[in-house]
Amino acid sequence: MAANYSNWFIRARLKTRQLLLLVGLDEERNIHRTAEVLGMTQPAASKLLKDLEDMLEVQLFERLPRGMRPTWYGEIMIRHARMVLSNLSQAHDEITALKTGLTGQVNLGAIVGVSTALLPRAIARMKQQFPYVQINVQLDTSNALQPALQQGRFDILVARLFEEHDKSGLNYELLAEEPVCLATRRGHPLAQGAGLTLRDLMSAAWVLPPSGSVLRHRFDLLFRQQNLEPPRNVIETTALSLTTALLEDSDMVTALPVDVVRHYAEHGMLASLPIALDCKMDAFGIITRRDQLLSPCAAAMLRTLREVSVEMYGELSAA
């Protein structure tokens, strides 16, 4: 740990006012006006800048006849100075919010598979700790959620990252894989059958994700691997509420994440079919943007998601 304190900014006793000076000079391009804005004398501002340049052994600003212009070295320091000041400001906001009672809103995007266990537990815990935080949740596919995160419409995703996704600007914390099973209403004749195979299900009516989705592709592949044609009597939807309602009122069959089926089975609504299914979705995780400073509400929601995730799936793994 002691080695960490040998960094140059420790030795230089870098001051917050020097960071403010860098940002001010970038905005004003004039040391006299910058000094006025910061409430200091021009000689004091000049000394702060010179001390910093001497320590770094580079020139941070070009002195021009009518002002100043950052060098490449200066651009680097200015960018990082803004980040440090922003982080310090966020820390103050979070402390103030916690002292006064956290308020505001957080926008979550999530895949359907986590909507019956992880998400409800995390949201319930968050609301218990911070009852006045507004939590907005949208369920969708990972392909639909990821661009929305990049556009700033979500603070946090619980979703998958596929190979075609641009991962360069994202933080990803792996949670778990998502096995899939076949399900029907409770009391369905097929649910009691022994030795059930995919061939026995070819004539069944199905509720499935749309063609082109990852789960639908893998579901169809199961049949083709056994030289069977995928079912043709299909209703396509991504709406979990519609899927469960259709199953309750008919003899239809569906393919859903095991956690989802387990949840509805515990409430007497669905039953998993006794058939070994070599099918699972890619692992999912918590996704945030690297360049996004989370609000105090979103930061608290992220911490809560991590806590509940560790309880359910074990330690998180960054990727």
Pairwise CA distance, residues 126 & 151, whole Å:
25
Determine phi and psi for 101, rounding to 5 degrees. 100, 110
Of 298, 284, 301, the C-alpha closest to 152 is 298
pLDDT of residue 3: 46
Length of the chain: 319
For residue 274, what pLDDT is reported? 87
Render the burial of 84-94: b for 16+ CB within 10 Å, e for the rest.
Answer: eeeeeeeeeeb
pLDDT at 97: 67
pLDDT on residue 2: 44
Which residues neighbour 9 within 8 Å (Cβ) at sequence distance 6 or greater? none
Compute the distance between CA of residue 13 and CA of residue 74 in angstroms, rounded to an integer. Answer: 18
- Say how many C-beta atoms besides its own lie within 10 A of residue 227's C-beta: 7
Alpha carbons 28 and 30: distance in angstroms, whole number:
5
Q: What is the pLDDT of residue 287?
A: 94
What would the two tokens of residue 87 be? 């982080």
pTM over 0.85? The answer is no
- Which residues, in sequence order, are bridge partners of residue 236? 208
Contact between 172 and 287 (Cβ < 8 Å)? yes
Structure tokens at 195: 């030795």
Question: Residue 240 to residues 114, 144, 201, 244: CA-CA distances in angstroms?
Answer: 12, 16, 21, 6
pLDDT at 249: 87
Do 123 and 158 meet the contact criterion of CB atoms below 8 Å apart?
A: no
Q: What is the mean pLDDT of each run of 10 residues along the chain (319 residues)?
A: 54 79 91 90 91 89 89 90 82 71 85 89 94 91 87 90 75 88 89 81 90 85 90 91 91 90 90 81 88 86 93 73
| Residues 134-174 pLDDT 10s | 899 999 888 889 888 887 889 999 999 877 666 778 899 99
Residue 1: what pLDDT?
Answer: 40
pLDDT at 5: 47
Q: What is the pLDDT of residue 165?
A: 64
